[in-house]
Homo-oligomer: A and B are copies of this chain.
Amino acid sequence: MNRPPLKREPRADTRRVILEAGIRSVLRKGYDQAGLAEILREAGVPKGSFYYYFASKEDFGLQLIEHWLEHYNEAEASLRDETLAPMTRVRRFFEARCRLFKRLKREYGTVVGMILLEMATHNETFRCRVEKVLAAWQEQLTGCLVAAQRAGELDPKRDARTLAEFCLISWEGAVQRARTTQNTAPLDLFFRVVFESFLVK
């Protein structure tokens, strides 16, 4: 017997509605405890709609991570914007991350990124995905710093890859610290140290 045709076309935004409900549920309970029934009830969609978009709970978790990563598109685009001087691209990247931190804090508090990271430490599929993204940022930032060295904006004797990795690590630490200070002082400190004394000629 052929599969019966779908009774109605799912709403264009159903996938997004489910993902947003999923983020709120994972925020309240953590990924392991977040139940599909509750997520679907909150999203106001029937179970069939869930399986129209997601093959399994793990697939859902992975798409939750992808959905989250879309927030970083603006920051990533800054790094690739060849109309700007290399160090300007680097600064714009972290400025976009700073705006994102403020926006996400307003929308979800400050813990979503942390919970996705927790998901990643428990699940190899999630970990590989997150690791791939972080490694890609490192690559792109390294490329920008090499360009900055060629343009005479950064000391050419220093190892661009090491600088890039260290800056990204420090940024994540600043974001983490801002969770307990509850202000952006740690992010301001990052900008002051990195752009006034660390990434210099």
Residues on A facing B (Cβ under 8 Å): 28-30, 32-33, 109-111, 114-115, 117-118, 120-122, 127, 130-131, 134, 158, 162-163, 165-166, 168-174, 176-177, 179-182, 186, 189-190, 192-193, 197-198
Chain B residues near A131 (CB, 8 Å)? 180-181
Chain B residues near A30 (CB, 8 Å)? 29-30, 33
A41 to chain B, nearest CB (A): 18
The answer to whether A190 and B169 touch across the interface, beta carbons within 8 angstroms, is yes
> Among B29, B127, B173, which residue has its beta carbon within 8 angstroms of that of A170?
B173
Q: Which residue of B lies closest to A109 (CB)?
A: B121
The answer to whether A169 and B198 touch across the interface, beta carbons within 8 angstroms, is no
Besides A121-B179, A166-B193, A170-B170, 7 other CB < 8 A contacts?
A162-B189, A168-B173, A169-B170, A169-B189, A170-B173, A172-B177, A176-B176
Q: Given A30-B29, A114-B117, A121-B109, is A127 in contact with B180 using a C-beta cutoff of 8 Å?
A: yes
